[in-house]
Every structure is written in C-alpha cells, then in structure tokens.
Amino acid sequence: MLVAACAAAALPPLSGFASEWLLLQALLAAWRVGDLAFQILALAIAAVAALAAALGAAAMVRMFGLAFLGRPRTPRAAGAQEMAGTARLALVIPVVLTVLIGLLPGPMLDLAGDALRLLTRHDMAGRAGFAGVAAGDGAAGYAPLGVAALLALAGAAVLWIVRRGAAPGVARGPAWDCGFAAPPAHLPFGDPRTQPSSAGFAQPIARMLGQPMLGVHEAVDMPEPGDGRAARVVARFRDPTIPLLLTPLARARDALSAWLDRLRNLSIRQTLMLPFATLVALLVLVSWLESRG
C-alpha cells in the first residue's frame, strides 16, 4: 500500500513520476510557441497540474498515515492480522510491476510507439531509451536508475546519522501519536482528541484554498458561562461543482432515463422498426462518407 500511495503521489522513481514529469516538461516548453494566447493557456494548465500534484501527494500522506500509522480506532482494527502467503503474493506482483515500470519507463513508452506516432505524427526515436526518457526537444532528460541510486544513498546517510546520534535503548510507539503520552487503561484505542483525523489533516489546505474556491466558513460554538458543554469548531463549505456540474448532469440523466423508459411501451411493430431504421441510417451515413471521399 505504501508503494501504491507513493506511485499515486508521483514520487520518483516509481511509475507515476515519469508520466507526470513528461507532462510538466511539455507544459513548461509551451513558451516557445509563438501564439500568446496558447502560452497563457499552457501556463494556467501548468499551475493547475502542479497544484493537482501537490494535493495528490497530500491526500496520499493523509490516507496512509490515518490508515496505517495511527492507533487502532475500533476493536476490529485492533484485531487485524496479516494475510496469508497467497494473498500477500497478489499484492507483491503489482508492487514489483510498479517499481519496474518506474525504473524502466523507456521500454514502456517504446511499446506505445506506434500509437503515439499515429496520434502525434512524430517518431519516439531518441526520446525513450532503456535507462531513461527525454523531453520532446531533448533539452531535459530523466534517468530513474540514477535518481533511485541517489535516493538510496541519501536514505542510507540519514539512517546512519539518526542511529549514530540516537540515545541508547529503543522506545517504540505509534508514529502518529502527535507527541501525546500513552492512553490510559480505560481508553485502549487512544484518546480521540489526540488522534489525527481526516478533517483535521485537511484543515490547513481547506483554509488556504477553501475560502476563495469553496466558500469555507468557520465558527466557534462557545457555550454560555456556566454551561459545561465543550466548545466546538463548526466548519461549512459549499462545493461549486454541485450546482454547476453535478445538478445539470443529474437532470440530463433523469430526462434521458424518462425518454428511454418510453421504449418499454412500444408495440411489436414499432420495436421491429427500430433496427430497420438504424440500418437505413447507417446506409445513409456510409453513402454520405463515400460521396465525400
């Protein structure tokens, strides 16, 4: 799961990084196009792509941290056990493929060379090699094997420095306990107030991007003096995609479903006319295409 999360976050040298690197290189090279409108559009798309990459990485960190690094929140989670060898092998195979494709993106691109040639009318020769890939103009290249070696050296150096400077003895604890002490006996799953939650993890991002985009509004529900209730922070937001996109799509779906539902009430004669009318329409289309060719 950690390998899959890192690949989804487009971290090198896994499979998700090469494609995102090529996309960003193509967007950054758009300034060479003479059309100013296209350059501005490419710049906006590059900013959106960078923002999407950052949010994707943050989402993967949240998902893995909350699911695997915190204290168990339920008795069922506390009793979780590793799967058997066969089930674990089913997870090892895609992990190996994810790492292999990330280390050797060039051969994977070569497999799609014919399709890319039909789409772009350009040959992939010289842009995808066994050890790496290059941008379209050849000004930038990505060598995943070298990046993996550098990351391995950096990780080994950090591990050596941490172990060399660590105090004697080993103390183990939950990775995401936020520095709080161990929970008391009556809270075997930890104090919920010390457990990072998805809402709390997303709060900085919501405050940074939510105000202009989602209309996020936060308010403190403070009880009256003498009231023993705890204060609550209430956060509300408005998703603009619901009225602008999802609601019209839902209405179009309902209208299409109502129109298609009328087909059930057709007579046998009308039902037999449907394939005949379809055949006539296809013949007319073929005739029109041949006349234009």
Q: Write the pLDDT tens digit of every residue in 37-68.
A: 888 888 888 888 888 888 888 888 888 887 77
Q: Residue ranges per domain, the chain?
A: 2-74+86-163, 244-292
Confidence of residue 139 (pLDDT cuts 50, 70, 90): low
C-alpha R_g of the chain: 28
Which tens digits make up the pLDDT trace of 14-30? 888 888 888 888 887 77
Q: What per-residue confidence (pLDDT) applies to 165?
A: 80
Q: Token match 């506390």: residue?
A: 78
Confidence of residue 199 (pLDDT cuts 50, 70, 90): low
CA trace torsion 5, 141, 26, 20 (10° rounding): 0
Which tens digits make up the pLDDT trace of 158-189? 999 988 887 777 766 666 666 566 667 777 66
**Other CB atoms within 10 Å distance of the CB of residue 15:** 23
- Rounded mean pLDDT of the chain? 79
